[in-house]
Structure 1
Amino acid sequence: MLYTLYEAGYYAAAPLRAAARATRAYWNSPLNPARETPVGRRLFASADLFSNLTRRYGRPEWGIDSVRIGGVDVQVRQVEAWADPWVRLTHFARDPLDLRRAGRTAAEPAVLIVAPLSGHYATLLRDTVQTFLQDHEVFITEWSNARDVPLLEGRFDFHDYLDHVRTLLRRLGPRCHVVAVCQPGPAVLAAAALMSEDGEDARPASMTFMGSPLDARFSPTVTNKLAEERPFAWFKSNMISTVPLPFAGAGRRVYPGFVQLYSFMSMNMERHQDAHLKYLQDLMDGDGDSADKHLEFYDEYLSVLDLTEEFYLQTVDVVFQQYLLPRGELVHEDRVVRPSAITDIGLLTVEGELDDISGIGQTQAAHTMCSGLPDDLREDYIQPHVGHYGVFNGRRFREEIYPRVAAFIARQEARVTASAG
């Protein structure tokens, strides 16, 4: 019912949205002599804000056409390396001729970035991908919007997610490097543990966890406390809705992206309100640069996707209520997942000092769980003065965090290459 009401509200606002767009076009037309008057700028700004707040935000484009390497602009193409109804593995293929001009002749490490399936599209990691492209062959998971997956495709739960991670690692071949950003951490660690126990050649050479809730008992944040304080039945009764027509996944039970978005925004509602008021003022003042920066951020932030009911509820239960992985009680396909079985996969954990999503210690917990790893294969880093998004995005990520990650991956690549030789 909630999803149907949300969609009804969207379509009911269509006439107002059309009127706002017409008003915006009229008061922004160079042919309008009153365009630059205070009244004209105010009417244009108000119409623009209303139009943007009520429109539908689809999956953003990556917009990565090139990357600067060694003073050379290296062209980048997006290639679908593998896909099924639930995920697309995208390869950001760098042009070989441009790479040679940049002085890169040897094959560079393949990195699988496992993007979060927690409400936003993988494009939230645009800065992450562009930065990793300087030194690596980059692949990323682009998870599907559950509302677009027909019921005939069946279920998709936490264990299916884990199996997809294993499948993608096998697709990339022996000893690639995996980077888990936030939510995927528990599934990626579990996949690596199972592959290690089975002695699979495709197990990763290294795994990097960035702001991941591997053990949510440490430094509980607002998100963690909500999961702890509410009974499991509350989440099923209050957070799940049915996808309506005309979406391809009509009838599927999901955790809607707009509910997740409201949860995110309610944590910092005053900040978002101030940002939109500033945007309104920038438009009235004719400050196009500041207005464009606002739109760039919110075009990404307001683009959300739905999660299947079973995936969302199992994640709440497994990761945030029962803590099955760190307690050694996670069972997958009738097998207990044992991170202690990992003995030769490099482990790097990265946390942000001010992270209000995955608190300090939640990611570091991987070192305790991976008790079979020797000390020389472990590394931990806490980045001062950054919150959750600063762990994988922004200036401090590019200048302080990424160089450490790249150096760690290079060391693990050299180690694996030497042992293979």
Structure 2
Amino acid sequence: MRFMAAYDLMETARNTNAWLGATARTMGSYPLTALAPHPGFKMLAAWGEVMERSFNRMVVKPDWNIAALPGDDQTDHSVVVKKELERPFGDLIRFKVQGRAPMARRILLVAPMSGHYATLLRSTVVSLLPDADVWVTDWHNARDIPVSAGKFDIEDYTLYLVDFMKALGPDINVIAVCQPAPLTLAATALLAEQDPEAQPRTLTLIGGPVDPDAAATDVTDFGRRVTMGQLEQSMVQRVGFQYAGVGRMVYPGLLQLSSFISMNAETHGKAFTNQMIAIANGEASDHDKHNKFYDEYLAVMDMPAEFYLSTVERIFKDLEIAQNRFVVDGHQVDIGKITQVAVKTVEGGKDDISAPGQCVAALDMLTGLPDSKKANYIEPEAGHYGIFAGGSWRKNIRPLVLDFIDANSGGAAPVKRGRKLKAVK
């Protein structure tokens, strides 16, 4: 049970830091401190506010908070999140725009299971909703899943994607962001072989490690350098007694977050220092740029241990996808079986997580797909997050992806970008 003790120790440390922050904020904000207008009191309160908010966000799943979309009937159409397919480890959810007719474009966003919730794609969803009906894979926090639900590794993940694509039908356009790119490619190949009628219309892979050896990064170097035994001993813990998944082996979100922050410790340290100064000067707000980013960035989820370990071993170390040797439920998947689905890859020129070359490698593996159905694009100045969120995505990448979807619509009438919403009477 030593791993469970380690898990609870981390949660205790998080809870204690949140309490210390709340205490400092309260002490620095006592009315009596106004009698001695020393800047130290304001800085103490500011430090406490940042600490309390930051450590409390680490165990909260963010809301989608999708704003209503304006329509040409002079009304705003609210967006409702609906579960269309429920599974123990993740749901297929739809962003239903109330009062809007079905759109010609139908898009499934495959969110990564890499430490953050699917809400990391909130801005991506917002940018696509005016032009398409949108679904997202909403993965669950492993700490909340009872041990009785069983395991969840990369084969199970792939089969989930197969089920989701079957449920949505062959006119769906799939966009896989980051980590799920190789598994989404495998799921599409599995459908092409076993259920061709259920294949998606198009597949867009954004910044994913289809072939990690194509370009080295700190992530691939780490995967090569560390043994599976070392990973299991240092990264895997048992969920503590506080959660429904008590006893489940996981790669804890708090441990993942420490790795995320350590990669850019100086940048994060400067950001938090600047926020404390802004709060002390009365220049910060509840939804300012800092809080909007870190409320999402600090909200982390536990990953099933078998999923994390099988990802490192089979995707990064053994290169099963890259070498077309991936096996799902006893069946070897052949990427070359994809012959009808148009495939586009998108990479960021400054991506330090999945470097240029790792994702575009998928196109060479599609030996059964004609070149006319293949496309690739590199956004020169974009980093990893910039290729699916932010200015590079909105201005350059998103229009190209929508054009690619329209060009391979199979004769369906494309919807003009920027089309205003029409209410259904």
State TM-score, norm by structure 1: 0.91
Counterpart amino acid of residue 181 in structure 1: V
Please state if 1:315 is matched with 2:316.
no
Of the three residues 90, 93, 97, the one matched with 1:90 is 93
Counterpart amino acid of residue 201 in structure 1: E
Give the 3-state SS of the residue equivalent to 1:254 in structure 2.
strand
Match of 1:59 in 2: 61
Please state if 1:369 is matched with 2:378.
no
> How many angstroms apart in 2 are the aligned matches of 1:56 and 1:129?
22
State the aligned residue count.
Answer: 408
Please state if 1:391 is matched with 2:392.
no
Match of 2:13 in 1: 9
Please state if 1:48 is matched with 2:52.
no
Question: Against the structure 1 CA distance between its residues 126 and 268, is the aligned structure 2 distance closer, same or farther, given a 3 Å change threshold?
Answer: same
Pairs within 5 Å for 1:195-344: 195-288=191-284, 292-344=288-340
Please state if 1:118 is matched with 2:114.
yes
Question: Against the structure 1 CA distance between its residues 368 and 11, is the aligned structure 2 distance closer, same or farther, given a 3 Å change threshold?
Answer: same
Which has the bigger relative contact order, CA under 8 A and spacing at least 6? 2
> How many angstroms apart in 2 are the aligned matches of 1:143 and 1:24?
40
State TM-score, norm by structure 2: 0.90
Question: Against the structure 1 CA distance between its residues 249 and 107, is the aligned structure 2 distance closer, same or farther, given a 3 Å change threshold?
Answer: same
> How many angstroms apart in 1 are the aligned matches of 2:110 and 2:306?
20
Pairs within 5 Å for 1:34-45: 38-45=39-46
Counterpart amino acid of residue 56 in structure 2: R
| Residue-by-residue CA offset, 1:22-79 (whole Å, 9 max, x unaligned) | 236546xxx9856986344323212212323433431111110323567974421111
Counterpart amino acid of residue 254 in structure 1: V
Match of 2:420 in 1: none
| Residue-by-residue CA offset, 1:87-135 (whole Å, 9 max, x unaligned) | 1211001123xx4xxxxx6632211101000000000001110111121
Moved more, 183-192 or 332-341: 332-341
| Residue-by-residue CA offset, 1:263-304 (whole Å, 9 max, x unaligned) | 111111110001111111111222125982111111100000
Counterpart amino acid of residue 310 in structure 1: E
Give the 3-state SS of the residue equivalent to 2:357 in structure 1.
coil
Q: Once the two structures are aligned, what percentage of the paired residues are identical?
A: 37
8 A Cα contact 1:24 1:48, kept in partner: no
> How many angstroms apart in 2 are the aligned matches of 1:217 and 1:268?
23
> How many angstroms apart in 1 are the aligned matches of 2:385 and 2:250?
25
8 A Cα contact 1:354 1:385, kept in partner: yes
Structure 1 residues without counterparts, runs of 5 or longer: 100-104
8 A Cα contact 1:214 1:362, kept in partner: yes
> How many angstroms apart in 1 are the aligned matches of 2:295 and 2:128?
23
> How many angstroms apart in 2 are the aligned matches of 1:183 and 1:274?
28
Give the 3-state SS of the residue equivalent to 1:140 in structure 2.
strand
Question: What is the Cα deviation at residue 338 of structure 1?
Answer: 0.7
Question: Against the structure 1 CA distance between its residues 13 and 352, is the aligned structure 2 distance closer, same or farther, given a 3 Å change threshold?
Answer: closer
8 A Cα contact 1:34 1:40, kept in partner: no
Question: Against the structure 1 CA distance between its residues 402 and 69, is the aligned structure 2 distance closer, same or farther, given a 3 Å change threshold?
Answer: farther
Question: Against the structure 1 CA distance between its residues 95 and 8, is the aligned structure 2 distance closer, same or farther, given a 3 Å change threshold?
Answer: closer
> How many angstroms apart in 2 are the aligned matches of 1:274 and 1:390?
21
8 A Cα contact 2:26 2:45, kept in partner: no
Question: What is the Cα deviation at residue 383 of structure 1?
Answer: 0.6
| Residue-by-residue CA offset, 1:110-167 (whole Å, 9 max, x unaligned) | 1110100000000000111011112111000110100000111111111110000000
Aligned-residue Cα RMSD (Å) equals 2.2
Match of 1:20 in 2: 24
Pairs within 5 Å for 1:133-152: 133-152=129-148
Pairs within 5 Å for 1:390-409: 390-409=386-405
Match of 1:359 in 2: 355
> How many angstroms apart in 2 are the aligned matches of 1:277 and 1:290?
16
Moved more, 330-339 or 157-166: 330-339
Question: What is the Cα deviation at residue 233 of structure 1?
Answer: 1.4
